[in-house]
Every structure is written in C-alpha cells, then in structure tokens.
Amino acid sequence: MTDLLSCLIQAVDAADSSDLLLEAVEDLAAAGLEGAIPTLIAVLSYNNPGAAVAAVDGLIQLGEPAVPALMEQLDQHNYTARAWAIRALAGIGDPRGLITLLEAVATDFSLSVRRAAARGLGMMKWGWFPHNLLEIAQEEVLLTLLFVAQQDEEWVVRYATVVGLQALADAITVTRPDWRSQIQAQFEQMAVNDGSWAVRARVWMAQQHLQAETGLPSSERDDQPSPLTKTDWQVILEKLYDHKEKERLTPTAGPSYQFENRTYKPVVNAAATI
C-alpha cells in the first residue's frame, strides 16, 4: 500500500501538463488513502481547476481524517486554495467546519464559495452533535440561511440556500417543527418573490419534498459514531459563542432578520463588499 501511495504521489509531482496532472490527481483521489491528504491539499493551490475539483472530491471521500489539515489550510494567504478547502469542508460536513461555513456563506466575496457553504451547512453531520450543542448549532445555521436566502444577490447562492434549508428541515422534522414551519414560510415567500425562475423551481421541489416527508429521515452521513473528542466539542462551542457575539456587536448595512423575538445580523467583513 505504501508503494502504491508513493507511486501515485510521484505521478502528481512529475506531471508536466494540465492533462497529466488531472489524471494523476484523479488516480490519487480514487485510491482513498489517508496518506494522500497532504498532496491532495497541496493541489488545491495549483492553478488547475480540474485537478482541484478532483482533489476536493478525494478529500470529501476521505472525510473526517482530512479535516484538521483542511482547517490549517484556511489560515494561508492563498485565497484560491482557501476557497477550495472550504468547498471540501462543506462536502464533508464535519462539525469542526461549522463556523468556517457560517462565516463563508455570509461574507465571502466568491459566489462559488458561498454556494458550497450554504449547501454544506444544511448537510452537517447532525447526528454527531451532543444534545446540549445540537439546537444551538442548528439555530445558527437556520438564521444564517434564512438571511442569505433573502439577501444574497446571486441566484446560485440563493438556490444553494434552498438546498441547505431543505436538508435542515429534514433534520429538525421531529425535534423543532416550529423551525421547520419557518423554513416553509421562507419557501412560500421565495416561490412568489424570488427573481430567478431556477430558484423558484428549486423552491417548488423543496416544498413538494417537505409536504411528502412525515418523519425524521436517516442520514448516511450520521451512520458512524462521532470520532470527535471532548476537546473538539469544547472548541466548537467556544467558536460558536464567539460567532454569536460578533453577530450581536457587528452593525450591518442591510435589514435584520426577526426570528423568535431575536434580531439576527450576520457577520460582515470587508471582503463581502468587494
């Protein structure tokens, strides 16, 4: 297995054309070896979108073991690599990426990053969350997606929020039917008011799905027990409360969103206006 990994990595390093690099990265990603994680993450910074997509797919397939290295990637100054890393985190659904996705969907200037984050937020591995943290996290995701669904100017991002909200509605069918009703009310507004026919069509699909859904569906993402430690959950909780504090203190230019007698204002940074 080590020999195979070495050969696959060497092929990536030796690739001297875009086509050869793409082929080598696809082979490395398909192998599903954890030892490939550093190389797949390095590919995210290459100027080769095709290879980056293949690397993201490979990292998503590897799942939880890739998350710590991806989180480290977010601290680098290479925005392109950071954007691809966020997409990988969104696809994996690991709770350690929750705050990163919350901030990305509300503030990132790249519509593709916001789109990936919106979709990923609704598809978190909710079954991994401890009871005392689950509702706090789901409320923050709900508030963020409701706001973005109303305020984002890009139809592809609003489309992705519909996908994320539908997934979240499935997850809270039993535990928070009142929040599910909030999502359905949002869909009713978008079905009439959204300026994109594609978004309205996706809303209609979501409405049909929610009307047919009667119970809490199982999720393939939650089948395995959580590998996260008490320390991991403590860090997630601290980041979540820091995020909520920023919401409370940060002024915003746009309208706020009212939810259960609480005024929600998403985090805004300078990049959001670029």
CB 124 within 8 A of CB 111: no
Residues 201-209, mean pLDDT to the nearest whole number? 97
Classified as helix, coil or strand, 109 is: coil
**Closest by CA position to 105, among listed 70, 58, 140:** 140
**Residue 88 pLDDT greater than 60, yes or no:** yes
Q: What is the pLDDT of residue 222?
A: 57
Classified as helix, coil or strand, 15 is: coil
Residues 35-58, mean pLDDT to the nearest whole number? 95
Point out which residues pair with 263 in neighbouring strands. Answer: 258
H or E segment to which residue 142 belongs: helix 131-151
Classified as helix, coil or strand, 253 is: coil
pTM greater than 0.75 (yes/no): yes
Q: Which residues contact 154 (CB under 8 A, 6 or more apart)?
A: 111, 114, 115
**Residue 211 pLDDT greater than 50, yes or no:** yes
**Residue 190 pLDDT greater than 50, yes or no:** yes
**Residue 235 pLDDT greater than 60, yes or no:** yes
Task: Identify the CATH assignment for 1-92 out of 3.40.630, 1.20.120, 3.90.320, 1.25.10.
Answer: 1.25.10
Check residue 218 and report its DSSP letter: -
Q: pLDDT-based confidence at 186, cuts 50/70/90? A: very high
CB 74 within 8 A of CB 100: yes
Q: What is the pLDDT of residue 272?
A: 33
Furthest-apart CA pair in the chain: how many Å? 60
How far is the C-alpha of 192 from the C-alpha of 200, rounded, in Å?
A: 8
Q: pLDDT-based confidence at 250, cuts 50/70/90? A: low
Segments making up each domain of the chain, as ranges? 1-92, 94-274
Q: Report residue 131 as tokens.
A: 């009871």
Give CA separation, 20 vs 26, 165, 208, in Å. Answer: 10, 39, 44
